[in-house]
Structure 1
Amino acid sequence: ELSQNLESTLTVAVAAGVPDQTLLEALARVGCRYPLLRVNLLRLPQDQVREMLHQERADLVLLPVSTEVDREEAFTYVTNVLFIAVASATADTPGLPAGLRRLEDLSGSRQIVVAGPDDDVADRRLLVSDARWHVDSVEAALGLVERGAGWANLPADVVEVAVSAGRVKVLAFDNLENGVTMPVHLVWLRRKPVRRAAGDVIALMRDHL
């Protein structure tokens, strides 16, 4: 296998909260094809995922993408993810107006952001508040939101159970619809040769299995 351009290790990084069922299925299939292959699968904040890719510490990454095209990146579309603004339904969230009507009204309340510890957030489309807590997982973000530590923009499927259970509420605005849809891409670097296992994962994801 190693003599046929198979990498010894395949490292894949996934942005926290991104649906990854198709990727997991692709990795399982590739693992069956190549028993000697080692796979490192990481779930990290989006900014750290992109950083790993460009530092060539990850062969493939799965993440929401902006409208700007990075010429160093090659990609294939996988799915869409809907981010919605949510807050606690049972606890008071400091700074959150009781008569919330506009998205801008969130600026005075702490926002929980899934990102690395610094302020260099890769995708700023979901940022509203200047006061922010950064956490490294959607589970931690949702837990803090439930307890009234702040509000957050989180994937709709992640908050679905908490909303149904009455622990979290989806915020409503008069001036726009709550929700930002982002395409999710599997991304790799053009400058880095795609070896056999990575190529198989790309082909499976491109065909959606």
Structure 2
Amino acid sequence: MKYSLDQLSAFKAAAECGSFSAAARRMGKAQSLVSTAIANLEIDLGVSLFHRAGRYPQLSAEGKRLLPEAIAILQRCEQLSGIAHSLNAGQEAKLRLAVDDSAQMPWLGDLLEQLATKFPQLEVELLFPIMDDLYKLLQSGRVDLGISYEAAEQPKELAFHWLKQCEVQFVVSRQHPLAVAHNVSLAMLQSHRQLMVTGRQSGAEKERFRYSPSVWWVEGDWAVLELVRRGLGWACLPKHFADVTQEQDIIQLPIQFSESQLQLGIQLVWHPGHQLGLAGQWFKTALIQGAIAG
């Protein structure tokens, strides 16, 4: 392969402008240089890209077929240059985000759209670890920023900033025995299986909202919701998660005991010792400013 980007650029300009002279004016070069570049490209490719019999050159069948390929190559080169420029300016190659509970995506979606617009060359990795698993990823440097529920015990080496409050609801399937009760006591909850979200780390955090001696541990809110829907137990789920699902066969239990009004803080988490790039700094600031505005 001997052809150059200059040759491909001349080919593209001539095809779009309709003449070699107009292409030369666009590129700021002498017409002879553009004509020579296209002629050399034809030699390198072994095909004629233009018919030159008329007053203005016309794309040949081969030229029409190869033009989109040439444009694609030039666009990828522009993308390469753009990424290199962003990296040179301090933007990280990849921003790695960890979010405890994928049901938070609706309110995060707007901010992610802004991130994509502001940093179009940025590669993003979005993970959904649960509870202590998220902290482990931050501590190891595997992710840059985390959004998690407020834990009873927070690792001292991590930094936290409160973002918003989340209400927790007690939910059950309409077919479950508890669904017909008008007032559900703690003793009634304890007599039925509880479905609880769990991470892969052991510790006190996973037992935090345990009320029943009988528990099924499930990795993920969506799986918990499916088991609730099938009548396999009751669960405590974030209100925004229940709102997103809009399940017709799942109801909120009328709880009547002192701890029934559960509130969970949602917080931004990061490791102060791990430096953020431009995109990470922007995303962190946007989250904090949004929390203040809200």
Q: TM-score, normalised by structure 2?
A: 0.61
Match of residue 185 from structure 2: 102
Q: In structure 2, what is the Cα distance between the partners aligned to 1:150 and 1:133? A: 8
Q: In structure 1, what is the Cα distance between the partners aligned to 2:271 and 2:173? A: 40
Structure 1 residue 168: Cα displacement: 1.9
Is the 1:104–1:128 Cα contact (8 Å) retained in structure 2? no
Match of residue 267 from structure 2: 185
Map Cα deviations across residues 34-75 of structure 1 (whole Å, 9 max, x no partner).
Answer: 232110012232232222222221111111113545432223
Is the 1:14–1:61 Cα contact (8 Å) retained in structure 2? yes
Match of residue 236 from structure 2: 153
Larger RCO (alpha carbons 8 Å, 6+ apart): 1
Structure 1 residue 85: Cα displacement: 1.4
- With over 3 angstroms needed to count, the CA separation of the structure-2 counterparts of 1:8 and 1:191, relative to structure 1, is same
Structure 1 residue 207: Cα displacement: 1.3
Describe the SS at the equivalent of 1:2.
helix
From 52, 55, 58, the counterpart of 2:140: 55
From 214, 222, 235, the counterpart of 1:139: 222
Q: In structure 2, what is the Cα distance between the partners aligned to 1:51 and 1:78? A: 21
Q: Which one has the bigger strand percentage?
A: 1
Q: In structure 2, what is the Cα distance between the partners aligned to 1:179 and 1:54? A: 32
Q: Which one has the bigger helix percentage?
A: 2
Gaps of 5+ in 2: 1-85
From 248, 256, 266, the counterpart of 1:174: 256
Match of residue 280 from structure 2: 198
Map Cα deviations across residues 158-193 of structure 1 (whole Å, 9 max, x no partner).
Answer: 22422xx2x123223333263311110111011211
Gaps of 5+ in 1: none
Map Cα deviations across residues 86-133 of structure 1 (whole Å, 9 max, x no partner).
Answer: 12212447xx99687422442342221122356546353322223322
Describe the SS at the equivalent of 2:281.
helix
Describe the SS at the equivalent of 1:23.
helix
Identity %, equivalent residues: 25
User: Is the aligned partner of 1:7 residue 2:112?
Assistant: no
- With over 3 angstroms needed to count, the CA separation of the structure-2 counterparts of 1:104 and 1:72, relative to structure 1, is farther
Match of residue 129 from structure 2: 44
Q: TM-score, normalised by structure 1?
A: 0.83
Structure 1 residue 10: Cα displacement: 0.9
Q: In structure 1, what is the Cα distance between the partners aligned to 2:176 and 2:202? A: 27
Describe the SS at the equivalent of 1:90.
coil
Q: How many residues align?
A: 204
Is the 1:66–1:123 Cα contact (8 Å) retained in structure 2? no
Is the radius of gyration larger for structure 1 or structure 2? 2
Q: In structure 2, what is the Cα distance between the partners aligned to 1:142 and 1:61? A: 23
Q: In structure 1, what is the Cα distance between the partners aligned to 2:169 and 2:267? A: 19
Structure 1 residue 19: Cα displacement: 2.4
- With over 3 angstroms needed to count, the CA separation of the structure-2 counterparts of 1:53 and 1:118, relative to structure 1, is closer
Describe the SS at the equivalent of 1:12.
strand
RMSD: 2.7
Q: In structure 1, what is the Cα distance between the partners aligned to 2:192 and 2:127? A: 31
Describe the SS at the equivalent of 1:24.
helix
Match of residue 115 from structure 1: 198
Map Cα deviations across residues 9-34 of structure 1 (whole Å, 9 max, x no partner).
Answer: 11101111552344332232222222
